[in-house]
Chain A
Amino acid sequence: MKDRLIILLMGVAALALPALAQTTPSPLMLPPNVEKELAARASNVTEVTLGKNMLGFAAKFMNGKDQDEAATRQLIEGLDGIYVRDYEFDKPGQYSMVDLDKLRQYFQTPEWTPIVHETERKSGESTDVMMKTVNGESRGMFILSAEPKELSIVLILGPIRMDELSKLGGLGGLGALGNVANVTHGKDKDKAKKGGEQ
């Protein structure tokens, strides 16, 4: 009996070691190698990975004394993760339209719905926003912003609405989200306006 207990305990310990040694896979669901290829061509790369633990930690710094801060705290606590990749290039043409299409196609699944696709032919800038919905509820957002010399990819997992994006601007490195929210909000307004005129 004692021998069995010892074997069992040793077994548990032996099983615990590989479990502890496992690395967490990146939740940023990008096509394989795209991240590596873009990073190899970029002159500056910024990666932000905020998992649920870290978001919970960040939320604690918002004491929630005013209404805005309390709402932001609630929003952040509800999220499962925020993942940002920003690539800056020395000159235009360091990434191709094929790269962008690969990224867009990766999110063309029934769960993800494209809600904004904006392209400015003159400046060569484009913005894509896709929303993840599960049972009719928003469960995430993917933002792809491309400029000739900069490419930004943002993935937010968890319940979030478009109008809440600007609230995340207070978190380090996510200030640009406020601009995306304004762009998309403006577009929604335009669409609504056009719809009303018809």
Chain B
Amino acid sequence: MRPWLWIPLCLVALLIPVVVLAGGGEGAFDGVVRAIETRYHAQATRIPFMGLASVVAYNATHGGVDDVHVAEFEHFSGPVDGDELNRMVQEKLGQGWERMIRETSRKGYEQTLIFSHPEGRRMGLFVLDLDGRELDVVQVSVDPDHLNESIGRYQHHRDSDESD
């Protein structure tokens, strides 16, 4: 084998696991939304300027909240098979995402799924909530330390307001 060939080959070999791990991140949210649109013949309303809102949230919480994605399905019709929805979401989110909470009604009009994904110091959270005819999908990345600081700051303001 030619000597120059083994360098890119080694790089590819080393990059495969990294790419597989990262695959659960950016495209996961869109993948789930698209799958829901296809399976249930519904159209998601994506919130405009969400990228900007995400930056604002990041600054407002001093890095506590980042990477905010929101999609809303209004007039969602028909009951949902909880097992099927759960399987679909799990598959689209990919490896690394663990289901934390699942609430499902047999009649299929109420479904809640919350998944988490450790991202170093941060935690990715994915929430899907179907309530009657409205289905909301949210994904967010949270840094508990920074978020806690921000919450503490507001609590401090509230406490001082109450004492006045």
Name the residue on B nearest A89 (C-beta). B106
Name the residue on B nearest A62 (C-beta). B148
Chain B contacts for A3, CB-based, 8 A: 1, 6
B37 at the interface (CB under 8 A from A): no
What total of chain B residues lie within 8 Å of the partner, measured CB to CB? 33
Q: Distance (Å) between the CB of B69 and the closest chain A CB?
A: 19
What total of chain A residues lie within 8 Å of the partner, measured CB to CB? 31
Chain A contacts for B6, CB-based, 8 A: 2-3, 5-6
Interface residues of B in 1-45 (CB under 8 A from A): 1, 3, 6, 9-10, 13-14, 16-17, 20-21
Q: Are A44 and B105 in contact (CB under 8 A)?
A: yes
Chain B contacts for A42, CB-based, 8 A: 106
B50 at the interface (CB under 8 A from A): no
Name the residue on A nearest B149 (C-beta). A63
Q: Distance (Å) between the CB of A95 and the closest chain B CB?
A: 14
Q: Are B20 and A6 in contact (CB under 8 A)?
A: no
Q: Are B101 and A9 in contact (CB under 8 A)?
A: no
A43 at the interface (CB under 8 A from B): yes
Of B53-61, B92-100, B128-136, which stretch is located at the interface? B92-100
Name the residue on B nearest A84 (C-beta). B101
Interface residues of A in 21-70 (CB under 8 A from B): 21, 24, 42-51, 53-54, 57, 60-61, 63
